[in-house]
Chain A
């Protein structure tokens, strides 16, 4: 195992406050930040604390720099297996400044284990057989930007999805180390990230998966991504990976797994977080907490990754295009494309997934009848016959699960 690179992002900036008081903050920032004198010791203003995207493709679009959130334009998701430098970043808190794989431990506890146990990373790697799967991880809020009324939060357009190869032990094998009681219902994770406020006692996010998902062979406690140590931004050195579920179920910087005798109740499991109305609601409707249901399998979706939107294409030549399609826990059975806003559709060539929960690749050629402005739309259909809608699907308070058809714009001339 190579050592994961130490984070280059936070060390210096967070250390800044170690030897400079609030007054110095005002000095460094000049007079451009009012009220600097009121900053409490230990709080680093965002201007000095922004996390970086060093090593990432320069085309990534930063939605928020504290916590760091960045999405990937569709044309940069063209790789069949998403490389680290083209993987979206969705952090809820501040990533750990440094991680030491040599001393990293994972604790398995909770009401529904026989005997809590703590294992080192090395013990995990030695004791359990390693499996590798390509697993599609999509943020529950991918596509949020299109909901009206506007939904609060990071305004993801299409680029909060990845499909990398993850290597690690099966979660179900690891849980057996502590012994799972018959009343087990859910597995919750805890990670080493810290809350934005700097309050070390505040858990940033602690979600997880129902026991049935935990027991699937592809649900991993992973220590490698694409054959290398997991990158710092993506959960080094240990990450829970549950493909097909909202990516927030795949806890980063994993330190603890709690086997619960109830639905896990960590931060961002409850309220409106990663939940949609159990029954359809009108746009803008108030929905009480108890009528919100946890998102599990993500819906069917596809992305045209070549060519990128906004190209000029010569008249009289067919245009080749390709992309990926995925459907949460299900397989995709068909992808079609349209150059006339859905009036007619043609089937694309669709390949089988490398393994369950990996995205599938499609390709086809389209011919434009004459010069002008076109949009090429793609529509995938899952194994149960559910297709992507062309309009934005049912509104929900937090703007999750927008799986409307992807489209690219082309000027033929």
Chain B
């Protein structure tokens, strides 16, 4: 593999100092399931790789802080799947984390990496959008918080400067819980990238939040306040046009090898209706 330097800071401050010094000549390493491939293929040519795994402040990787569930930059998919707080409050996130790659990948790949990598097919993006998650970004001159919806920009692009470090992703444990479900479409069962990723959530006020990805340059969040979708008594016929309108921004690429654009567009309302039904069922037993 190409040569590069390796640093393993013990604190967030040390990591930030390294980023300050090296800027875009540095790459941050958390799980490495994307980065090591990029390094081997020379898609990235960093001078140094900054490994976050010795930063004690980032452990434990999942913690509850002041009404929020905090996933530090070191939280890996299998920990998220197994965490009882995630299963209780954010089951759609557990469902999404559980279908990322294989077990070997899930033992290594981080939630923060999944979002920072900026893949339009990132499985965890739709549930994070539905649950209203925020990205916490540290820099030498302070910390800023950005909604995941604003953080994701486009393929491989997120709102992050070379001198900044994503330290955690946080989800508010809301007083008005969102009951949500995640689903995806793949070519085959087992390890595969998604042709559609989709999460639907409803809350007690009748708001429906729908997020979907892999059908355009980035995962999108759309919100329905009409109450029709979340209404358990409303007919499928009444819901269909509302649901269809929520997918109007989908623009799947004709160049993707995973599924044709017509197929993806046709399957969106099918997956949407399924996830909506599961979300409504779950609403009867939200914590």
A, B in one complex: no
